[in-house]
């Protein structure tokens, strides 16, 4: 069994990569670093006297508008939003409050990858007794699968980050390249483009952006974790399929056919806007990050499905996203569940969440599949409709389950994969080091690890 010290260690949250997209914009900013709360300032709407009071911890943009709408339409409940920082900042405070048995919120924004770390310490309320299963048909399957464990549902899905091949159509046309449909073709095209222009690359590869790497592994069918609750977990970065994945990307790096700089850095944006990088393998929320950073190429960007392992495959990965969980210890689980379920499972909520003010790309299928989202255009993509691709791929994201120690996995990944970017380590070598580090950590925390 895990010790109290161990479970406290594994539940100190993950690095933030909250993300989303909009009906009028393809994306919203993603946070890939931790942030500290300037203050845990509380905000609440004017509420009906005697209404049930709830506290909601969340950091994503636009949440106050959604809370205001809920309070206006649910006069018997009064929700107060508190910003305790994004990702790890919030999770650290939440973990401490759970450990102390005091000071927890009623509802918290929790990223998909962090849920198992809170489930394993019995920190979340099962929403099934409060009607959560009624929302299952309105949520994309892969998102519902990540909030579920056995017959329990521990959170309400929110935004998602289905991946696509987002490319500069003018640059690809210049080199007579069409979006590759297989990874074999991707490699061929990468070599051809770089040969035609040694200063240009088909794409960038940044494994230090570990959640991005996981999304690509998810799409490739080589996701390294298996976990279904309890203390048994599988960690596999060194299996034959995983090493083939690592060798594929290393071959492109070694040949000089693909770029490898830090995502979201000034040079990264410059490369996308100056014809150095012809595409970004990105999530549905990413174009909104691109828009303020790209000027010369605005209007040239188009979306296509990610390349596949074979021409007959049709799978995708997802990068980022948050959920709404009811925290154990709430005095009002019924009302908290009503709020969480409305937040992630109603059109009234999603009209605000998907607006430019919030920028969340929906896992809520009535909006995800609506013409208002799929027919939207953005200046970055000209007259094309990128959400048609992102919405379509969302239905084909492979099912996964995160292990309950993603804080350590993401933190360790930043140091392990740094050598790939600076050229002192290969991707296979990094996978081997990552495997060793995570197995040692998990075993030290009391997990039984299969490799």
HSE-CB at 289 with a 13 A cutoff on CA atoms is: 23
Instruction: Read off φ and ψ for residue 201, nearest 5 degrees.
Output: -135, 150
pLDDT of residue 355: 87
Cα angle: 418, vertex 422, 428; to 5 degrees: 65
pLDDT of residue 44: 52
> What would the DSSP string read from start to end of 44-67?
E----TTPEEEEEE--STTHHHHH
Supply 91's token pair: 């999770």
Supply 79's token pair: 């929700």
Q: Are 109 and 399 in contact (CB under 8 A)?
A: no
Query: What count of other Cβ atoms lies within 10 Å of the Cβ of residue 21?
Result: 32
Single out the residue of 257, 276, 207 nearest to residue 416, CA to CA: 207
What are the structural domains, with CATH classification, of the chain?
A: 17-161+319-394 (3.40.190.10), 163-317+401-450 (3.40.190.10)
Q: Are 170 and 297 in contact (CB under 8 A)?
A: yes
Per-residue confidence in pLDDT tens, the chain, 451 aa: 343 333 333 333 322 334 333 332 233 333 333 333 333 445 555 678 899 999 999 999 999 999 999 999 999 999 999 999 998 889 989 999 999 999 999 999 999 999 999 999 999 999 999 999 999 999 999 999 999 999 999 999 999 999 999 999 999 999 999 999 999 999 999 999 999 999 999 999 999 999 999 999 999 999 999 998 899 999 999 999 999 999 999 999 999 999 999 999 999 999 999 999 999 999 999 998 999 999 999 999 999 999 999 988 899 999 999 999 999 999 999 999 999 999 999 999 999 999 887 889 999 999 999 999 999 999 999 999 999 999 999 999 999 999 999 989 999 999 999 999 999 999 999 999 999 999 999 999 999 999 9
> How many angstroms separate the Cα of 29 from the Cα of each of 262, 284, 344, 365, 390?
16, 10, 19, 22, 16
The residues facing 276 across adjacent strands are none
SS3 325: strand
- pTM score, whole prediction: 0.88
pLDDT of residue 288: 87
Instruction: Read off φ and ψ for residue 296, nearest 5 degrees.
Output: -65, -35
Task: Give the C-alpha separation, 29 to 271, whole Å.
Answer: 19
pLDDT of residue 19: 38
- Sequence-distant (6+) residues with CB within 8 A of 88 are 12, 13, 14, 15, 16, 34, 407
Single out the residue of 268, 218, 213, 216 nearest to residue 416, CA to CA: 213
Task: Give the C-alpha separation, 211 to 320, whole Å.
Answer: 7
């Amino acid at each position: 069994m895990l010790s109290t010290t161990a479970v406290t260690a594994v539940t100190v949250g993950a690095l933030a990569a909250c993300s989303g997209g909009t009906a009028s914009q393809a994306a919203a900013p993603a946070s890939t670093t931790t942030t500290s709360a300037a203050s845990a300032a509380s905000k609440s709407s004017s509420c009906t006297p005697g209404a049930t009071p709830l506290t909601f911890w969340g950091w994503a943009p636009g949440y106050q508008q959604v809370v205001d709408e809920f309070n206006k339409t649910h006069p018997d409940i009064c929700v107060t939003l508190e910003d305790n920082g994004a990702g790890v900042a919030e999770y650290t405070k939440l973990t401490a409050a759970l450990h102390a048995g005091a000071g927890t919120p009623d509802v918290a924004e929790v990223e998909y990858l962090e849920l198992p770390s809170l489930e394993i310490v019995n920190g979340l309320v099962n929403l099934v007794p409060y009607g959560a299963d009624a929302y299952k048909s309105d949520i994309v399957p892969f998102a519902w699968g990540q909030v579920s464990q056995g017959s329990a549902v521990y959170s309400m899905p929110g935004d998602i980050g289905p991946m696509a091949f987002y490319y500069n159509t003018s640059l690809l046309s210049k080199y007579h390249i069409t979006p590759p449909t297989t990874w074999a073709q991707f490699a061929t095209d990468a070599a051809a483009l770089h040969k035609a222009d040694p200063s240009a690359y088909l794409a960038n590869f940044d494994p230090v952006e570990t959640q991005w790497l996981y999304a690509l592994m998810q799409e490739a069918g080589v996701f390294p974790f298996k976990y279904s609750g309890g203390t048994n977990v599988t960690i596999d970065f060194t299996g034959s399929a995983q090493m083939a994945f690592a060798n594929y990307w290393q071959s492109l790096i070694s040949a000089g056919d693909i770029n490898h700089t830090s995502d979201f850095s000034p040079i990264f944006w410059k490369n996308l806007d100056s014809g150095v990088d012809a595409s970004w393998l990105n999530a549905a929320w990413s174009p909104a990050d691109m828009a303020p950073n790209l000027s010369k190429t605005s209007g040239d960007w188009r979306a296509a499905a990610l390349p596949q392992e074979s021409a007959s495959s049709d799978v995708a990965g997802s990068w980022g996203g948050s959920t709404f969980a009811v925290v154990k210890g709430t005095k009002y689980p019924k009302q908290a569940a009503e709020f969480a379920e409305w937040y992630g499972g109603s059109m009234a909520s999603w009209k605000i969440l998907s607006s430019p003010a919030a920028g969340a790309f929906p896992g809520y299928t009535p909006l995800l599949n609506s013409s208002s989202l799929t027919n939207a255009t953005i200046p970055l993509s000209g007259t094309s409709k990128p959400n048609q691709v992102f919405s379509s791929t969302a239905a084909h994201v492979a099912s996964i389950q995160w292990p309950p120690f993603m804080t350590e996995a993401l933190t360790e990944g930043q140091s392990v994969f740094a050598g790939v970017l600076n050229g002192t380590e290969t991707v296979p070598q990094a996978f081997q080091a990552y495997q060793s580090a995570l197995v040692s950590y998990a075993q030290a925390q009391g997990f039984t690890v299969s490799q």
